[in-house]
Structure 1
């Protein structure tokens, strides 16, 4: 292999041991050498190589171990379902809304911690929507309680811009918003935040990230993740989707 690729022994060793990720151009050379010619298979493997190179972007941020594990899972999920009881989910927040929301959380009171949390959130968004624009896009499902849409975090101007952003995001392919209006009465769903992550194929089990004021944790137990599937189904069943969801967001926006 070294003779045919003209790589150094140290480069090959770093790739084989996982010390570095393989670059797409090097992967293409390897695939040609191994006789892989199918364009679809080549494209899929290159996408995986790109994902592996993005996988460590979070290493430059200060993150708790549980949150770091969650971000790693999120970066590879093929379907992301997010619910947050009191706020717009982080993956859909504008930066001004994120600043106002994060500053209001006691455990992030330090200015440096607030900015770090916002930077990570914005980077998660950029990574996700970059993947959505790619050749193997994940699906994003956001479950939005009506009270969250009417709570003017950061003031009326910030909230109007946030709701406008939701309308724009809803137009993107592979993004689905579910809105449960206040007029629908009691709605299913826990307090706090959870994110249900699913992966292509059957080998990788679902994962749920749960955030609370006390502790963040990653749930992998199949019985527990199945319970979150039931919660998601109940919320979707009681909410508005597609054009009806967008119209509800616009109605609330116009009333601010």
Structure 2
């Protein structure tokens, strides 16, 4: 039976997407079965998206735009829908991250979200979001699209060496993740440095943090705890953390040495001949 649950389009981006999909589908004189056949999916999936029970993918949105001749409307809207699936306390940061011209981050536990493979991200997110894992993963992968722009932000990442040894998702997932990090060596806008164990105490011992710089707006400092994020444009905080980040960069291995370390750990710890 076709689900005709009423939606309040103003309730959320997902509800708005569903309501517009139904309105435009009906305006085209198509039922859910017919539209599903055109975009190569089931009528059930169309119905679930129209009733905001399932989050649409970017591929689905592109096919809908082609089928209904909506001029890219759903392809543009899906980005907002996917970002809305991120934790509410994180959404403000994600919006600012997408606008930044320069991102500097130190990560002491995990690979930075913009550089995670889908399998690695799924393993990380599965810890706390088992009931919404697909939606959360889609939101994280949507964040990464900023690196695919014609003019992406400059991204400078300092990773603690511990990140390479913390086995997230199993050996195969880790091997693929480290290979993914190595793939950025040829990207001029992405610079990756490893902070080795031998450094000892350092300017990042307080934990992970990120600095965002913009073309016209004030810089922002961001850090987070277990279930909340803290963002500030306080000039003194920006000054102190910027100096701290420069000290981290100076203490870390060079970009070339970092690449060598990642490749070595990938083979020695996660290579097919490595001892478990």
TM-score by length of 1: 0.69
Compute the displacement of 1:56 (Å): 8.7
Compute the displacement of 1:190 (Å): 4.0
> 2:80 matched to which residue of 1?
58
Distance in 2 of aligned mates of 1:55 and 1:227: 38
Distance 1:95 1:193, change over 3 A: same
Q: Please list, as runs of the form range in 1=range in 2, the aligned pairs for 1:151-190 lying within 5 A after superposition.
A: 151-190=166-205
Q: Please list, as runs of the form range in 1=range in 2, the aligned pairs for 1:1-256 lying within 5 A after superposition.
A: 57-60=79-82, 61-104=84-127, 108-112=128-132, 114-126=133-145, 128-131=146-149, 134=150, 136-200=151-215, 203-256=216-269
> 1:34 matched to which residue of 2?
none
Distance 1:193 1:183, change over 3 A: closer
Distance in 2 of aligned mates of 1:226 and 1:118: 34
> 1:49 matched to which residue of 2?
none
> 1:33 matched to which residue of 2?
none
Calculate the aligned-residue CA RMSD, in Å.
2.1
**Which deviations, in whole Å up to 9, do the C-alpha atoms of 1:217-240 show, x marking residues without a partner?**
221211112222122111101101
Distance in 2 of aligned mates of 1:54 and 1:83: 31
Q: How many residues align?
A: 194
The SS at the match of 1:101 is: helix
Give yes or no for contact 1:82–1:194 (8 Å, CA) kept in 2.
yes
The SS at the match of 1:195 is: strand
Compute the displacement of 1:99 (Å): 1.0
Give yes or no for contact 1:84–1:194 (8 Å, CA) kept in 2.
yes
The SS at the match of 2:99 is: coil
TM-score by length of 2: 0.65
Distance 1:220 1:121, change over 3 A: same
Which structure has more relative contact order (CA 8 Å, sep 6+)? It is: 1
Note the residue ranges of structure 2 that are not aligned, 5 or more in a row: 1-74, 270-276
Distance 1:77 1:162, change over 3 A: same
The SS at the match of 1:166 is: helix
Distance in 1 of aligned mates of 2:177 and 2:268: 14
**Which deviations, in whole Å up to 9, do the C-alpha atoms of 1:151-184 show, x marking residues without a partner?**
1111111111100000001221111001111233
Distance in 2 of aligned mates of 1:212 and 1:164: 29
Give yes or no for contact 1:67–1:217 (8 Å, CA) kept in 2.
no
Give yes or no for contact 2:220–2:231 (8 Å, CA) kept in 1.
yes
